[in-house]
């Protein structure tokens, strides 16, 4: 929710060019000309994303000693600083989505979602950035230390070109997410004699996120970057061919088209840019409410359908393999090595995946990748347990 507030602030005030949100803890590493590695992200790392960015710090850390002074002088004269604006209190940001469909002679389905994101208080805001010609001039005189760059030379590299700072950071007002699903279905005549003439279902979930830490010192909130490559021959960074640094705007002023052109290729589970991952981050995997629901699903539909501990382990490993294939290969349909059993169908149907005994394919098109990742994450934890840990869990077989 905080990232969405920052994205909306960026879109409203800095146009629709890509700005990556920065949360607390990057005041020293997020600055113009900071070096970033972009790499493939482990499938089971949380939150789920195909790639991650690791901020290594200012480029001055990698410049050779004989070029240090020239580089620092060039940066001091070329990086532009602007006092942009002041952001005080506004109305809270709300988002409402509603979808309904009437199916003739069958019934009505309605889905609604409300997000109360709160209000973002920033105080004064400033921007530091560097223009394309100046950046190329700086890189031309920045000879890098070959030993320090050896660990990064085969990775995709990015360079920060613009950073937005705020003098404070506070999220106020109520923050809440609510999802409601309602279904009214007219049953066929042959069933209406046995069951009620009308089937009604209602599902409602409300999430109130924890409080947000308040900051009263200057710090980064957004940054933009460009792709660069390291040349072993010249020991310098070079801007990728066809890449130009600066503020861009679609020539036909078409916002929808510009949104499409500016989509970053680093996605999280909601199709958005993930939070910045720094080299010394530690991810705490405390179980969420959704984790607990997945644990209950796996306990009921996988572990309790077996006759022995060996069968439990075999099923966990089999389903984990399916989910790994889906996530790693970026596909939503898989061909199975062996037909589905009745137990397989029970577990797949709990995920709302169509499954019949003897079926040799599975279609996950209607399942969110984040749900596949969340369920697979629990299977991964179970698969890594040793025999002693299985015993400590005390999970009986059927």
Q: What is the CATH number of the domain that holds 373?
A: 1.20.58
Closest CA to 128 of 169, 86, 83, 87: 83
| 349 in a structural domain | yes
Structure tokens at 1: 């929710």
| 179 in a structural domain | no
d(CA 179, CA 224): 33
Boundaries of domain holding 350: 289-393
Q: What pLDDT shows up at residue 118?
A: 81
Residue owning tokens 């980064």: 220
Q: Count of CB atoms within 10 A of residue 245's CB? A: 20
- Find all residues with CB under 8 Å of 194, minimum gap 6, and list them: none
SS3 164: strand
Same domain, 40 and 149: yes
Is pTM beyond 0.75? Reply is no
Residue owning tokens 């909306």: 8
34 close to 56: Cβ distance less than 8 angstroms: yes
Question: Considering just the CA atoms, what is the radius of gyration of the chain in Å?
Answer: 26
| 189 in a structural domain | no
Please list the residues that pair with 215 across neighbouring strands: 169
Q: What pLDDT shows up at residue 220?
A: 92
| 110 in a structural domain | no
| 30 in a structural domain | yes
- The count of C-alpha atoms lying within 13 angstroms of the C-alpha of 65, restricted to the half-sphere facing its C-beta, is 1
Q: What pLDDT shows up at residue 320?
A: 92
d(CA 58, CA 291): 38
Detail the DSSP E strand segments found in the chain: 20-21, 34-40, 51-58, 80-87, 93-103, 107-121, 123-129, 156-166, 170-172, 176-186, 198-207, 219-231, 236-239, 333-335, 361-363
| 239 in a structural domain | yes
378 close to 291: Cβ distance less than 8 angstroms: yes
Same domain, 46 and 136: yes
Q: What pLDDT shows up at residue 137?
A: 92
d(CA 359, CA 353): 12
Tell me how many domains the chain contains: 2
Q: What pLDDT shows up at residue 259?
A: 42
Residues of the chain with pLDDT under 50: 191-192, 194, 250-275, 278-285
Same domain, 362 and 256: no
């Amino acid at each position: 929710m905080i990232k969405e507030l920052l994205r909306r602030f960026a879109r409203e005030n800095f146009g629709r060019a890509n700005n990556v949100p920065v949360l607390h803890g990057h005041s020293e590493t997020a600055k113009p000309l900071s070096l970033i590695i972009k790499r493939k992200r482990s499938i089971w790392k949380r939150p789920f994303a195909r790639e991650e960015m690791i901020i290594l710090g200012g480029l001055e850390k990698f410049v050779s000693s004989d070029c240090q002074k020239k580089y620092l002088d060039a940066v001091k004269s070329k990086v532009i600083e602007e006092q942009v604006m002041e952001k005080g209190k506004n109305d809270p940001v709300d988002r409402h989505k509603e979808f309904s469909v009437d199916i003739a002679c069958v019934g009505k389905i309605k889905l609604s979602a409300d997000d109360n994101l709160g209000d973002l208080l920033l105080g004064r805001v400033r921007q530091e950035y560097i223009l394309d010609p100046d950046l190329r001039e700086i890189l031309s005189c920045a000879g890098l230390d070959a030993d320090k760059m050896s660990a990064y030379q085969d990775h995709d590299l990015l360079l920060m070109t613009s950073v937005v700072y705020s003098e404070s950071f506070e999220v106020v007002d109520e923050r809440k997410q609510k999802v409601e699903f309602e279904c009214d279905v007219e049953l066929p005549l042959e069933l209406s004699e046995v069951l009620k003439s009308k089937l009604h279902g209602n599902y409602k979930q409300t999430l109130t996120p924890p409080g947000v830490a308040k900051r009263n010192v200057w710090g980064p909130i957004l940054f933009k970057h460009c792709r660069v490559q390291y040349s072993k021959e010249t020991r310098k960074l070079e801007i990728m061919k066809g890449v130009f640094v600066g503020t861009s705007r679609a020539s036909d002023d078409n916002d929808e088209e510009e949104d499409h052109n500016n989509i970053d290729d680093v996605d999280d589970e909601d199709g958005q840019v993930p939070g910045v991952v720094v080299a010394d981050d530690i991810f705490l995997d405390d179980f969420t409410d959704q984790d607990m629901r997945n644990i209950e699903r796996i306990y009921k539909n996988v572990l309790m359908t077996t006759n022995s501990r060996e069968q439990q382990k075999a099923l966990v490993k089999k389903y984990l393999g399916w989910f790994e294939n889906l996530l790693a290969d970026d596909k939503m349909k898989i061909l199975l090595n062996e037909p589905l059993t009745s137990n397989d169908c029970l577990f797949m149907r709990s995920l709302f995946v169509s499954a019949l005994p003897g079926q040799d394919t599975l279609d996950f098109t209607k399942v969110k990748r984040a749900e596949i990742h969340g369920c697979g994450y629990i299977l991964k934890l179970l698969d890594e347990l040793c025999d002693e840990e299985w015993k400590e869990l005390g999970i009986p077989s059927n």
